[in-house]
Amino acid sequence: MTEANATSIPGPAVIATIPEAPIPDAPNARRFVDKVVLVTGAARGQGRAEAVRFAAEGADIIAIDICADLPTTEYPGATPADLDETAQLVKGHGRRIVTSITDITDFAALQNAVDNGVEQLGGLDVVIANAGMTTASLTWEIDLDHWHATIDNNLHGAFYTAKATVPIMIEQGRGGAIVFTSSVAGLKGLPLLADYAAAKHGVTGLAKTLANELAAYRIRVNTVHPHGVATDLTVPELHGKLAARQDLGLLYMGSLPDETSESEDIAAAIAWLASNEARHVTGIQLPVDLGRTNR
């Protein structure tokens, strides 16, 4: 490499001034006109962004959320007012929405919420299993109640969502798409998140199995794997514990200069996975992770 060529390569100081790309917005192409999309954890954060994204592209929405504080988390849960706000945002796009305050770990209640939404909106085309929760501890220090709650909400809730919706989609005979929100923790051994990682690895395996079982029905199943996302689902104790263990903190670093993704980044990826543009995509794990899994 010549000296002239070497000096033409941007250094870190120059790269730091390159502006971040804008948050993705719904395209003019309306890929989900008159489709029905179910979203769990829809009251705020990623779930709300997903509901609004699909509504902007023409879909009607079944929005499910527990709308309550969970005793094993240190952050406040969503509220009925949050779910109402999601509903207003969906209606702002001229679409219908059926909301339900439902605990996804209660299968009978979840099945009832799904059936009610499908009856009111006339079918089911896309399922987004997004609801979840997390805490942070070294593996051997995890409280047993926290372990069970994390597995119950993240893994059992995802399975219950599939169990409640797949028979409906098969009976309809019109194909469809299911997207599970996993995590980088569903691909990597992120420290201080053993319960969450175990659950999210389980979600990844669940989706891969379903993708094989449902391919003949033209129902595609994929997972999306976010890293840090700017939502109310924050784990304050994680930052303190990582500060005390800098060797572990290095395992959280991505390669892009941005600290976190936005909920709209995840919604855009899910919308692509659910669209006909991805009609031959099933059984994959799509990281939206600032380059974390590439390190």
The whole-angstrom separation of Cα 282 and Cα 87 is 30
E strand or H helix at 177: strand 176-181
Instruction: Determine contact, residues 292/188, Cβ cutoff 8 Å.
Output: yes
Q: Is 196 a catalytic residue?
A: yes
Cβ neighbour number for residue 167 with a 10 Å cutoff? 11
Tokens (6 digits) for 205: 């395996």
- What burial letters (b/e) apply to 206-234, b meaning 16+ CB within 10 Å? bbbebbeebeebebbbbbbbbbbbebebe
Contact 67, 82 (CB under 8 A): yes
Residues 6+ apart with CB under 8 A from 57: 26, 27, 29, 30, 31, 32, 33, 271
Give which of 26, 25, 29, 61 is closest to 43, Cα–Cα: 61
- The one catalytic residue in 75, 160, 196, 217 is 196
**Could you tell me the two tokens for 118?**
């499908």
| Tokens of residue 276, six digits | 């006909």
Q: In what order do the strands lie in the sheet with 176-181?
A: 97-101, 60-65, 36-40, 126-129, 176-181, 219-226, 285-288
What end-to-end distance do the CA atoms of the chain give, in Å?
Answer: 26
Active site positions, annotated: 196
